[in-house]
Amino acid sequence: MPSPADTDDAVPRAPDFPPPPLDQQQRMVEAVLFASAQPLTVRDLAARLPAGCDPAEVLAGLRRHYQGRGVVLERVGDGYVFRTAPDLSFLMQTETVEQRRLSRAAVETLAIIAYHQPVTRAEIEEIRGVAVSRGTLDQLIEMEWVRMGRRRMTPGRPATFVVTEAFLDHFGLESARDLPGLSELRAAGLLDSRPPDDGMSLPVIPDGDDDDAIGHDGPADDLFDDD
């Protein structure tokens, strides 16, 4: 004959305490879901709630409650998770301005174009003393700081390069005659204030007003440091 203890173990016993009211169960499920970094299943919720709770019924009620609100209760596979309402996703998007640093070659090329425009690629290379890569000019054109100018009426009709209104607008200039000095380029973050470590000198940008610096065809030694 089975003992009383065996009989008690064979028959499921009612919980010692009644389950919380449904509204309290909803509050509990809300708290657990909001704090979870991943979707939770009905089994996951049942393991966390007091005995006697019905997480499936609670989830059904919460899905109805959150319809049309700023956050919705979505089912992802076998789990449930709170998400931003799809029609409000645009509010979560942010726009940032990416600060792009110019390479040393691009800074030198930009300075030469700005102070000697209109200038051809061959003239840029003659002033710099090294070849100008296509990528350098493409970068400046992509930034809309440099554009193609008129072709020279010389053999081969080479294209020229000039600075754009976007370049002038960036530095708050009315015309190319108000070009920024070296300190202003550094303040704008376009020029590294550290001394060059590759043996190549930086272009020296005149700080004063020098009408002859724009578009002259003479020697360009004033664009480079002799140090």
Domain 104-223 matching CATH 3.40.190.10: the answer reads no
pLDDT in tens, 16-33: 678 889 999 999 999 999
Instruction: Compare 135 and 221 and report the one with higher pLDDT.
Output: 135
Establish whether domains 18-89 and 104-223 are of one fold: yes
Architecture per CATH, domain 18-89, reads as Orthogonal Bundle (1.10)
Predicted pLDDT of residue 209? 39
Dump pLDDT digits (tens) for 28-70.
Answer: 999 999 999 889 999 999 999 999 999 999 999 999 999 989 9
Taking only the tens place, the pLDDT of each residue in 135-171 is: 888 889 988 899 998 898 888 899 899 998 888 877 6
CB burial class (10 A; 0-12, 13-18, 19+) of residue 61?
middle
Please, what is the average pLDDT of the chain? 75
Q: What is the pTM of this model?
A: 0.41
Instruction: Report d(CA 83, CA 13) in Å as an integer.
Output: 39
CA within 13 Å, CB half, 151? 6
**Domain range list for the chain:** 18-89, 104-223
Query: Rounded to whole angstroms, how far apart are CA atoms 112 and 94?
Result: 37
In whole angstroms, how far apart are CA 146 and each of 89, 106, 165?
37, 11, 9
